[in-house]
Amino acid sequence: MKKCGFVTIMGRPNVGKSTLLNGLLNIHLAITTDKAGTTRNSIEGIYQDDESQIVFIDTPGIHKPIHKLGNVLNKTAYLNMNQADIILFMIDAKTGFGKGDQFILNKIKETEDVPVFLLLNKVDKIEKETLFKTIDKATKDFTFQEVIPISALEKDGLDDLVKTLKKYLPDSDPIFEDDALTNVSTKFIMAEFVREKAMQLTREEVPHAITCYVENYKETDDLIKVQVLIVVDRLPLKKIIIGKNGSMLKKIGTSARYEMEKFMGKKVYLETYVKVIENWKEEEKYLKEFGFENE
């Protein structure tokens, strides 16, 4: 018997949810950037040790939907919340507890009998006093089972977090194989690496207008050949992504390939190209094709 269960990470965009998932698993599974709205699918990462199997679910941050993609993302986040054994409600200790956080907390309140932990992230950036003030504000009208300050980036407090989670999780026979890691496919992760680099390396207007998709994937013992299509919603962005004489696309490709090789432990041959599809964010058929959950 092990401690087994599902733990959903909730919180505003940019508080550090994906960074926490990566920190817990010690790999780069979920892409992270300093731009809001990076995570678009629920990514499950399975933490395993001798006594536990804990499925952490990284959710797209909840926000006001402005297009169909936004609706799909919110629905995904709420769905995950209701299926969890434990909810981790993460806030950014540096920016404090604000309206956006309150909005999500109100949604969390609607779930019944699920323990909720308050995670104060980015404590590497703040003073103790600020921390206490934020805790006071966040706990004013809700009682959390646990309140835990962490730094996801510096992996500070993560061992304690796992230890505490084990206290709350039910005993059961293992649910997964002991080498199971995630619900998402290798192809998905490859496309995500390209999107991460494109988002990190380009200017503000690009991030939300872009999606990436693996068109061809061939794996042999010592080499992976992969073609990734970068889709943007207007021509000027295609020009930005490609850059002068293809320099930006080359940069994106080189750094994405580096992540792929690290993740897969073998050589990767990566080809990228860019295409304009004007309203991919509104069109059901494209949302499906690009892998967004959508019932």
Please report, as ranges, the residues that interact with ligand GDP according to CB under 6 A. Answer: 11, 13-19, 32-34, 38-39, 61, 121-122, 124-125, 151-153
> Among 13-21, 92-100, 119-127, 221-229, which window interacts with Mg ion (CB under 5 A)?
13-21
Amino acid letter, 67: H
As a whole number of angstroms, the distance between CA 106 and CA 89 comes to: 11
Residues 101, 11: contact at Cβ < 8 Å?
yes
Does the protein bind Mg ion through residue 42 (CB under 5 A)? no
Token pair, residue 210, equals 């872009």
> Whose CB is nearest to ligand GDP?
16
The residue (of 38 and 272) whose beta carbon lies closer to Mg ion is 38
Does the protein bind Mg ion through residue 76 (CB under 5 A)? no
> Whose CB is nearest to Mg ion?
39
As a whole number of angstroms, the distance between CA 125 and CA 112 comes to: 34
Buried b (16+ CB within 10 A) or exposed e, 250-274: eebbebbbebbeebbeeebebebeb
Does the protein bind Mg ion through residue 8 (CB under 5 A)? no
DSSP string, 261-281: HHHHSSEEEEEEEEEE-TTTT
CB of 195 to ligand GDP, least distance (A): 12
Does the protein bind Mg ion through residue 41 (CB under 5 A)? no
Q: Which of 22, 39, 41, 272 binds Mg ion (CB under 5 A)?
A: 39
CB of 79 to ligand GDP, least distance (A): 18
The residue (of 9 and 226) whose beta carbon lies closer to ligand GDP is 9
As a whole number of angstroms, the distance between CA 31 and CA 266 comes to: 20
| Residue ranges that bind Mg ion, judged by CB under 5 A | 17-18, 38-39
